[in-house]
A and B are shown apart, each in its own frame.
Chain A
Amino acid sequence: MGIEPDRIHYSWISSAESTKFVEVVKEVTEKVKALGPNQHFAKHEAKVA
């Protein structure tokens, strides 16, 4: 779609898997931070002359 693959993550975490949850969240945060702010699918204010 033109969205960087690292921006989207899928995971299946049971309510009992707290450590997995922490791991996944850390990893997602790191990867998305590395990519920086999303430029696509964001509306920008119209430039007024």
Chain B
Amino acid sequence: MSEYNDKIKEISARLLKECQVDMVIGFRKGSMPMMNEPCFINNAEDAAQLVWDSNCGINLANYLTNRKEKIGIIAKGCDSRNIVTHIIENKISREQLYIIGVPCQGMIDKHKINAMFEGEIQDVAENGQKITVTIDGKENALEKADVLQKNCAVCIHRNPVIFDEMVAEPVEEQKDVDRYADVREIEAMTSEEKWNTFEELLSPCIRCYACKNACPLCYCPTCFVDESKPQWVGKGQDPTDVRTFHFLRAFHCGGRCTDCGACERACPVGINMRVFTKKLEKDSFEQFGWEAGLTLDERPPLDTYRPDDPDDFIR
């Protein structure tokens, strides 16, 4: 994927030089391995800072909310779907955007790689499907397929769904992936088992809200967790409040979540809160035939009514 670098720099420099956009949102190398950081590039000379590799898991659509200027944005499959969602929800207009589409081959899971090794990782380099992790000067070889982020391993929309220019030919989409094995496992549990599973899942949560800050859907000016009149949810680490936060956040993402994995990636304690959003994603698909962010021409299921909407639960 890193071969896209030159093309991204070239397109971005051109857009800025020709004043087609006021800035380009992309990634530059972070100060730590596997942590590329989002950056705003304002002039053509700085476009050389832009990078692309398997550590660009942050969802850049997050930086578009209510922006007024013309923006060039680097978008992989999931970013592009969140850009569509942003446009549908009037958080940015299509005319303001020049979307530089990047066919994605998956991002690597920094939690997983960190957990695989003892000691501090000094460098993570990639060459095609090979990942080389350097620790204490010693190189360890990994296969990228083994260390993909969990959401990337089951991704079926790697190519951008909306773009003005692509940096490369589309990649082949993954077929025959079982997207919801983990959700089905939980669905099969009794309510008591579910309760205990979630209790365990959420027990490490420190309420840092990294998940909601990384999420492009969480753009409310005041989040319900921060409201004080009324205070919907307690602010501490009481398990009831932690659970209320995670459940409500997931429900707010119902029919909107693209499973970009930004929340899980951002979590400092490695909670897989994606099981909640994935359940809603599965329901949206099964009950309404809806996958978020694929088209600008259709309204999401939660803001439309259709006479054939499922209503078996009402008696």
Interface residues of A (CB under 8 A from B): 1-5, 9-12, 24, 40-43
Contacts and interface: CB of A to CB of B under 8 A. Distances in A.
Contact of B194 (A2, A10, A42, A43): A2
Interface of A is mostly: loop
Interface string B184-226: 0000000110111110000000000000000000000000000
A2 B240 contact: no
Given A42-B240, A43-B240, A11 B195 contact: no
A2 B195 contact: yes
A24 B314 CA distance: 11
A10 B314 CA distance: 5
A38 B211 CA distance: 29
Interface residues of B, number: 16
A8 B182 CA distance: 25
Contacts of A43: 234, 238, 240
B314 A41 contact: no
B191 A3 contact: yes
Q: Which of B198, B234, B247, B315 counts the most chain A CB atoms within 10 A?
A: B315
B93 interface: no
Interface of B: 191-192, 194-198, 234, 238, 240, 243-244, 247, 313-315
Contact of B315 (A2, A10, A40, A41): A10
A40 B194 CA distance: 12
A41 B243 contact: yes
Contacts of B191: 1-5
Contact of A11 (B192, B240, B243, B315): B315
A46 B243 CA distance: 17
B297 to A, nearest CB: 31
Contacts of B194: 1-2
Nearest to B247: A1
A10 B310 CA distance: 13
A17 B80 CA distance: 49
B241 to A, nearest CB: 8
A10 B195 contact: no
Contacts of B243: 41
A31 B191 CA distance: 16
